[in-house]
């Protein structure tokens, strides 16, 4: 008996000493979160601009909250749930019998849910869940100096864009949204993924599947590979999620996200006819609606194998345009992917000069690009509109014609993604500054990040209107300037903002970070 007691004490003590407490670190700016990666006594498992999920003993000066003294528990799954204070009561009811809320602030909650009950959990709003686990997160190497120069016009790329057929995109949306649901736990998603597999195969691509049994879901990722001829171990990835979800189990998911899969398939149809220096990978992920399962698995596998992804372009909801707005799109990305974001904007300026791209921020959700950024790759999310996206998603009204109402928008977003992928995949593409591009966007804004003052200069313009918005769309500063101007932003608290600059001939929006 005494021996058994000693063994029990030893095992408990051994577990206690080796357990890594799980916590969350909050920062008013992204630099504080990125600095977590410099600390040797903690491991970062997930991060965004203002939060980091860590295990270990945090010794910094940022706000730290303990989530679980003994770290990750095997019988639970862990999630970020984007939740404001008004939604917290509903969230507590939703999770009361299957898990618990470990933490909440004004914008997010951290949940742990019994693995056997994850399927039962219903988020309190759309696109609200991001799953995280013991996997280690990474920053892109040399993220502070990462940048892509402006690119030069290439007639071959323009010809590829001209091959895009909206009829093909519409046919994909029509087929996928005719299914009652493509929930990642359903049988219909298997049918949908097998159909996508057959389309990739018909294009002559090397197609594989990735089982997602680690997440206890029966569906899988479909991965199609177009081998590079010169640098086959450098990868350019484009993808979107094939699954859908609805509160009443009828989830046609036309815009979310049959539209994105339509774009990915059309890009694959066209680019598969050409050769490129780098390898291109086309992805149809499953499990996005339950926490980015599919993309999380794919990105972590590539990281584990030390594969070099040059960039990831995410197509998710590309077909809805608010009737009161002109044709445009949002671009969503973290500061660590700024280089790829600038590259994408240069692509749009070169090949789609009349298609406005505004920096955007999703205040209450995420998508598959986040999985790549958390594994140290640059991922961007071109999106229909960060503020006025389809109001029909996650309902039975997410239908072709209602929720997908603009094939002009779908074509432009597909064209921009195609041109970005094709140019990145061509090692010989020119990456030099183009004066013509500078003329298309005459505004120069610096410094960014900023502290007390922001300077804006422009050429070939006389007067410009400036408006700065919070990430929730609230107008905070509005003024008109004549010529280069520095103005005081010290009244703004640390965080991310959107600045809109408008002149007689140009309009653009950019993300600014205030320290």
67-94 pLDDT per residue, tens? 999 899 989 999 999 988 888 999 999 9
Rounded-to-integer distance, Cα 332 and Cα 471, Å: 12
Residue 83 has φ and ψ, to the nearest 5°, of -145, 130
Of all residues in the chain, the percent with pLDDT exceeding 90 is 63
139 membership: H or E segment, kind and range: none
75 C-beta neighbours (distance < 10 Å), count: 8
> Residues 20-45: what's their mean pLDDT?
92
Residue 30 pLDDT grade (very low, low, confident, very high; cuts 50, 70, 90): confident
- What are the sequence ranges of the domains in the chain? 14-132, 153-424, 442-514
- Confidence check: pLDDT of 307 > 70: yes
Q: Round to whole Å and give the CA distance between 251 and 188.
A: 11
Q: For the residues 453-459, what does the mean pLDDT come to?
A: 73
Q: Is the pLDDT of residue 2 over 50?
A: no
CATH architecture of 442-514: Sandwich (2.60)
- In three-state secondary structure terms, 30 is helix
pLDDT score for 19: 57
- Average of per-residue pLDDT across 388-400: 95
* Cα–Cα distance for residue pair 324/469, rounded to 1 Å: 20
Under 8 Å between Cβ of 172 and 267:
no
Rounded mean pLDDT of the chain? 87
pLDDT category of residue 239 using cuts at 50, 70 and 90: very high
Q: Where are the beta strands (DSSP E) in 214-333?
A: 220-226, 231-241, 278-285, 308-314, 328-332
Q: Is 417 exposed, middle or buried (0-12, 13-18, 19+ CB in 10 A)?
A: buried
Is the pLDDT higher at 496 or at 407? Answer: 407
What pLDDT is recorded for position 500?
A: 79
pLDDT of residue 403 exceeding 50, the answer is yes
Average pLDDT over residues 97-109: 93
Segment 207-217, tens digit of pLDDT: 999 999 888 89
Give the pLDDT band of residue 204 (cuts 50, 70, 90).
very high
* Global model pTM greater than 0.85: no
Domain spanning 153-424 has what CATH number?
3.40.630.10
pLDDT at 44: 97
**Count H helices, E strands: the chain?**
12, 23
- Sheet containing 108-114: give its strands across: 99-104, 108-114, 76-82, 129-132
> What is the mean predicted confidence (pLDDT) over 116-125?
87
Strand 22-26's sheet: what is its strand order? 42-47, 51-56, 22-26, 63-68
| Strand 475-482 relative to strand 485-488, pairing | unpaired
375: confidence class by pLDDT, cuts 50, 70, 90: very high
pLDDT at 15 over 60: no
Residue 404, SS3? strand
pLDDT-derived band at 11, boundaries 50, 70, 90: very low
Where does residue 74 rank: exposed (0-12), middle (13-18), buried (19+ CB within 10 A)? Answer: exposed
For tokens 């291109």, name the residue. 280
| CA distances from residue 478 to 458, 492, 515 in whole angstroms, order as listed | 18, 13, 20
Give the list of residues 6+ apart from residue 15 with CB closer than 8 angstroms, or none. 70
Q: Which of 8-17, 57-66, 258-267, 464-473 has the lowest mean pLDDT?
A: 8-17
Q: How many CA atoms lie within 13 A of 150 on its CB side?
A: 16
Per-residue confidence band for 148, with pLDDT thresholds at 50, 70 and 90: low
Q: CA–CA separation, 226 vs 367, rounded Å? A: 24
Pairwise pLDDT comparison (187 vs 149), residue with the higher score: 187
What is residue 14's predicted lDDT score, i.e. its pLDDT? 38
Quote the pLDDT of residue 180: 97
Average pLDDT over residues 38-50: 93
């Amino acid at each position: 008996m005494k021996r058994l007691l000693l063994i029990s004490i030893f095992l408990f003590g051994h577990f206690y000493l080796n357990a890594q407490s799980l916590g969350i670190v909050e920062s008013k700016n992204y630099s504080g979160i990125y600095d977590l990666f410099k600390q040797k006594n903690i491991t970062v498992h997930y991060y965004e601009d203002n939060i980091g999920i860590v295990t270990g003993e945090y010794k910094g000066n940022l706000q730290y909250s303990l989530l679980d003294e003994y770290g990750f528990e095997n019988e639970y799954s862990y999630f970020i749930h984007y939740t404001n204070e008004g939604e917290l009561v509903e969230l507590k009811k939703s999770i009361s019998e299957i898990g618990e809320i470990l933490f909440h602030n004004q914008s997010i909650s951290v949940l742990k849910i019994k693995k056997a009950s994850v399927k039962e959990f219903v988020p309190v709003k759309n696109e609200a869940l991001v799953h995280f686990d013991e996997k280690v997160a990474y920053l892109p190497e040399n993220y502070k100096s990462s940048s892509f120069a402006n690119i030069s016009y290439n007639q071959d790329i323009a010809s590829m864009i001209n091959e895009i057929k909206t009829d093909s995109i519409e046919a994909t949306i029509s087929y996928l949204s005719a299914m009652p649901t493509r929930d990642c736990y359903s049988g219909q998603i298997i049918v949908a993924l097998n159909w996508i597999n057959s389309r990739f195969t018909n294009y002559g691509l090397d197609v594989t599947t990735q089982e997602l049994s680690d997440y206890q879901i029966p569906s899988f990722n479909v991965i199609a590979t177009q081998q590079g001829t010169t640098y086959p171990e450098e990868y350019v990835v484009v993808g979107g999620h094939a699954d859908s979800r609805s509160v009443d189990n009828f989830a046609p998911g036309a815009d979310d996200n049959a539209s994105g899969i339509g774009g990915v398939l059309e890009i694959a149809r066209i680019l598969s006819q050409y050769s490129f220096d780098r390898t291109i990978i086309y992805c149809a992920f499953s499990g996005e609606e339950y926490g980015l399962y599919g993309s999380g698995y794919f990105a972590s596998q590539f990281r584990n194998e030390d594969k070099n992804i040059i960039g990831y372009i995410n197509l998710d909801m590309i077909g809805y345009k608010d009737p009161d707005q002109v044709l445009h799109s949002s671009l969503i990305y973290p500061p660590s992917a700024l280089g790829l974001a600038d590259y994408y904007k240069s692509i749009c300026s070169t090949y789609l000069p009349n298609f406005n791209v505004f920096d955007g921020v999703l205040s209450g959700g995420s998508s598959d690009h986040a999985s790549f950024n958390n594994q140290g790759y640059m991922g961007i999310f071109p999106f229909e509109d960060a503020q006025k996206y389809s109001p029909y998603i996650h309902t039975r009204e997410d239908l072709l014609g209602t929720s997908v109402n603009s094939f002009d928008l779908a074509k432009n977003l597909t064209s921009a993604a195609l041109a970005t992928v094709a140019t990145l995949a061509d090692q010989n593409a020119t990456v030099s500054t183009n004066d013509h591009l500078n003329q298309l966007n005459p505004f120069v804004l610096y410094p960014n990040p900023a502290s007390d003052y922001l300077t804006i200069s422009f050429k070939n313009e006389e007067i410009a209107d400036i408006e700065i918005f919070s990430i929730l769309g609230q107008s905070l500063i509005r003024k008109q300037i004549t010529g280069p101007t520095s103005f005081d932003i010290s009244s703004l608290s640390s965080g991310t903002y959107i600045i809109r600059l408008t002149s007689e001939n140009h309009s653009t929006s950019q993300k600014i970070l205030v320290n």
